[in-house]
Amino acid sequence: MHDIDCTIIGGGIVGCAVAAELSSRGLTTVLLEMEDGLGRGTTSRNSEVAHGGMYYPNGSLKARFCVEGRRLLKAFCERADVGYRECGKLIVATTPDEVPELERLLALGTANGVEDLLLIDGPALLRLEPDVKACAALHSPRTGIVDAEGAARAWAHVVADHGGQVMTAAKVTGLWPAAGVWKVEISAAGPGRHEGWTHTSRIVVNAAGLWADRVAALAGVDVDARGWNQHLVKGNYFSIASAHHGRINRLVYPVPPRHGTSLGVHLCLDLGGQMKIGPDVEHLATDPRDSGFDWRVDPARRDAFCDGARRFLPWLEPDDLVPGMSGLRPKLVATGFHDFVVQREDGDLAGLINLVGIESPGLTSAAALAREVARLVEEMDAA
């Protein structure tokens, strides 16, 4: 016997979407988040872009879930009255030798099912964005921006509406398979909860984001052998002075750098029209999960940001930039591409589903990841 059907560990946007999907299918569900609020990790510290899906290898989980997830995310936000806007994105070539990369991304995006992609020349770009300087651009009109924390909270409301429980300040400190179920030990974390408890769950979904590898290890997974150790890479942002508000109406990205660690420092918009540039890639000397999280942005990084952005925003001056927010990416490789890990365990670990390395486009993919988890649960129930 078990107390509940499904325990979801992690209250970011992915965990909330998973819990909403499972509870809406009639499964008794509890969502556990160790912070005292939802979406306090990666969900609240990113560019809040609903990505098109043109960057990822055809056939990869990232490509598939990004395209499907963006459509599902938009539809959900419209139903739930969560902020979402298809502002569109321009990937710009600042020199002619970068145009072949735009052509490659156009072909890849088309193969991935990205809608309405269009390669435009310099004059057409000038008509769309007079203050962006480039010789060509790939226009993705379906790329959007979203209130990520709002979407997470809205999915949590879906859980509650279906009788599920959403519990913050609840840290999972023990996971043991026992007689066909999982024993889940929870300790109080922070001021929002004073007592811990233990329950049994038929299924456990590890959607712990920055902590997903450690939760997997807690459950008995050999993360070293699987190459699942997440390397947390910091990304910094600088805000652009409000005097420039409204000057740019779309997201603007450079051609992706060859090092493959990010999409390059780009111009982002929030739903209020505020502009920021970032993120960069800052490799940390120690794991912040052990040494403590320092979200401060070093002002000394400003000039490098300005130099990068002025390739396509020639009017930008260093004094236009002030330190903004920062976030962390849970990467499985230091450079290059690594796909999402979505793993249904079997044998002694049966009943456990691990989501590891859910970096970008994890936010965009949340609803599609949730559907995939539901499919894996159905597989387990049918076995």
What are the tens digits of pLDDT across the range 62-79? 999 999 999 999 999 999
Q: What is the pairing mode between strands 181-188 and 197-206?
A: antiparallel
Torsion of CA 14, 15, 16, 21, to 10 degrees: 90
Same domain flag for 236 and 271: yes
In a domain, 19, yes or no: yes
CATH number where 173 lies? 3.50.50.60
Better-predicted residue by pLDDT, 209 or 190: 209
CA dihedral over 159, 69, 215, 178, signed as positive or negative: positive
Count of domains for the chain: 2
In a domain, 292, yes or no: yes
Q: What is the pairing mode between strands 341-344 and 352-356?
A: antiparallel
CATH number where 263 lies? 3.30.9.10
In a domain, 187, yes or no: yes
Which residue segment(s) compose the domain that 165 sits in? 4-45+149-228+338-382
- Rounded to whole angstroms, the Cα distance separating 33 from 189 reads 9
Distances, alpha carbon 237 to alpha carbons 48, 87, 207, 322, in Å: 13, 20, 26, 9
Burial 193-215, CB ≥16 within 10 A → b, else e: beeeeebbbbbbbbbbbbbbbbb
- The beta-strand segments (E) located in 241-316 are 251-254, 266-269, 275-278
Task: Specify the DSSP class assigned to residue 282.
Answer: B
Alpha helix ranges (H) inside the chain: 13-24, 61-80, 99-112, 122-128, 148-161, 212-218, 223-226, 288-291, 302-309, 362-382
With cut-offs at 50, 70 and 90, classify the pLDDT of residue 260: low
Same domain flag for 317 and 238: yes
Same domain flag for 223 and 247: no
Q: What is the pairing mode between strands 49-50 and 144-146?
A: antiparallel
pTM of the model: 0.96
Same domain flag for 326 and 233: yes
Better-predicted residue by pLDDT, 264 or 5: 5
- Rounded to whole angstroms, the Cα distance separating 95 from 67 reads 29
- Rounded to whole angstroms, the Cα distance separating 197 from 54 reads 45
What are the tens digits of pLDDT across the range 122-159? 999 999 999 999 999 999 999 999 999 999 999 999 99
In a domain, 275, yes or no: yes
Residues 79 and 374: beta-carbon distance below 8 Å: no
